[in-house]
Structure 1
């Protein structure tokens, strides 16, 4: 880790020691900077929202965008807080529901394929899952170009023993635990490179290039697929509800798992659009003619 990354890591640690009420004051200031001063990816956010909700007025789109930036600022600050947050505080701030949808599979000796999205506070969800499970938890992630930042944030994510697995090592790591009850978590709404996928499907009314890795691994292993829906209740407080999407993935048709995932996520986004990551360039790839 170079000097610059060490300095960033140090300041992340110092800021994380502040109490939540101070952190949310910082979040309010960060929102002002991102939204009014810098205009961080405003064009991308407005374009994504307008294309996803063509029936909404300009004023409605602007309000969703503003609510999103308020949420994004809180998300950034809460992720920093994860550096030193206690286990007790994590459990207080994220309540879990329908945990039997995870435990019943693990208690039968079946590993679980978990899937979620860049929706609500998925980062805090890593800590909550880590504390909930006695079995190994593998977090599948897309490596960053800045390896220093990657190391900093992976150290935060793995504080309660989650194992960080780069995407290209996913199958090897899952098969290493094939005969051991465990859970592998996928953020399945990421944007693949054109070399990584050629499957486009409608999502939020737009042709969308999809990763098929989660589906392929589920069908190969026949591990049940469980969606982890994280929802913001109020500022700083969340709930996570588990739902089994597929008990026997091998019995599904090609793309059935991916399409079911999309449909599930679309409903969540329509219900509370401000909680999804609109600043992400999700539709930068277009299908061939």
Structure 2
């Protein structure tokens, strides 16, 4: 599709902003934090509602501290995502250190594709660039399409700069089967919130019944491709580590929901450790199971 004049202007402005050095972008981030948190109150009700649900044992002061740290990280991530438009491969590798990429490579060496799974935790967007630069094998990024198709095209152009292939969720199976005979990784953001009509499975997560997609699990069990978890942690401002761990070598042998439950249990541990790095502005518990 062709971009509208407005979207072309937006794309150009993103490019210009991405050329700014990190120290300038972080100064902008500091200002954005003040605006979003104190002036606009961007999704504050959603954030505090989620924190109340996830951490009923914490005091108001503790939850306020988490919320403020989350907004600081959120604005940092926004400028880091803009920087993705022009950042060099060398800088990406400097900003995200891989701790054990051999955990993915060993599956590739055996000729096996990989089902990758991660979350809205740490800078998962910059993680797309790092994953793309880690291997010459195809990297499929499974994403939920946006309503604004023009912005989606701009966003996906940024995400695919280092040859990641952006795959809309509805095309997942077809694209994975297209590459089934060659080593590749299909990366799922497995903590997406489904539309109620698209899912009916609730599992315990952060102490709450939580509606989940089962697509990643179903594809892993049907293909037998090993499931590898990708954990992106923040070391300090602008710097991250990426750690891979194989959850299931032979997912076809797992019980129903075993993969999904294991993934969410690990994610919950990471959230409890550094709650500010998860996307609290997302309405994760808007759906409730039928009585």
For normalisation by structure 1, the TM-score amounts to 0.99
In structure 1, C-alpha distance between the alignment counterparts of 2:121 and 2:6, rounded to whole Å: 30
1:169-184 matched pairs, under 5 angstroms = 169-184=171-186
- Unmatched tracts of structure 1, length 5 or more: none
Instruction: State the 1:284 CA deviation.
Output: 0.9
Instruction: Tell me the alpha carbon deviations over residues 45-85 of structure 1, each in whole angstroms, 9 at most, x when there is no partner.
Output: 00001110011000000000000000000000000000000
Q: Give the match for residue 193 of structure 2.
A: 191
Q: Give the match for residue 218 of structure 2.
A: 216
Count of residues in Structure 1 that have an aligned counterpart in Structure 2: 289
Other structure's SS at 2:191 match: coil
Other structure's SS at 2:276 match: helix
Instruction: State the 1:8 CA deviation.
Output: 1.4
Instruction: State the 1:210 CA deviation.
Output: 0.3
In structure 2, C-alpha distance between the alignment counterparts of 1:8 and 1:60, rounded to whole Å: 38
- Unmatched tracts of structure 2, length 5 or more: none
Out of 117, 120, 124, the residue aligned to residue 118 of structure 1 is: 120
Other structure's SS at 1:40 match: coil
Other structure's SS at 1:195 match: helix
Out of 56, 59, 65, the residue aligned to residue 57 of structure 1 is: 59
Instruction: Tell me the alpha carbon deviations over residues 160-218 of structure 1, each in whole angstroms, 9 at most, x when there is no partner.
Output: 00000000000000000011100000000000111211000111011100000000000
Instruction: Tell me the alpha carbon deviations over residues 233-261 of structure 1, each in whole angstroms, 9 at most, x when there is no partner.
Output: 00000000000000000000000000000
The answer to whether residue 7 in structure 2 is matched with residue 5 in structure 1 is yes
In structure 1, C-alpha distance between the alignment counterparts of 2:138 and 2:216, rounded to whole Å: 18
In structure 2, C-alpha distance between the alignment counterparts of 1:139 and 1:54, rounded to whole Å: 35
Q: Give the match for residue 95 of structure 1.
A: 97
Q: Give the match for residue 229 of structure 2.
A: 227
Q: Give the match for residue 260 of structure 1.
A: 262
Out of 97, 103, 107, the residue aligned to residue 109 of structure 2 is: 107
Moved over 6 A (4+): none
The answer to whether residue 142 in structure 2 is matched with residue 140 in structure 1 is yes
In structure 2, C-alpha distance between the alignment counterparts of 1:50 and 1:4, rounded to whole Å: 39
Instruction: State the 1:98 CA deviation.
Output: 1.4
Instruction: State the 1:6 CA deviation.
Output: 1.6
For normalisation by structure 2, the TM-score amounts to 0.99
In structure 2, C-alpha distance between the alignment counterparts of 1:146 and 1:5, rounded to whole Å: 10
Other structure's SS at 2:92 match: helix
In structure 1, C-alpha distance between the alignment counterparts of 2:39 and 2:4, rounded to whole Å: 30
Other structure's SS at 2:232 match: strand
In structure 2, C-alpha distance between the alignment counterparts of 1:193 and 1:81, rounded to whole Å: 31
1:67-78 matched pairs, under 5 angstroms = 67-78=69-80
Q: Give the match for residue 154 of structure 2.
A: 152
Instruction: State the 1:121 CA deviation.
Output: 0.2
Instruction: Tell me the alpha carbon deviations over residues 251-282 of structure 1, each in whole angstroms, 9 at most, x when there is no partner.
Output: 00000000000000000000000000000011
Q: Give the match for residue 237 of structure 1.
A: 239
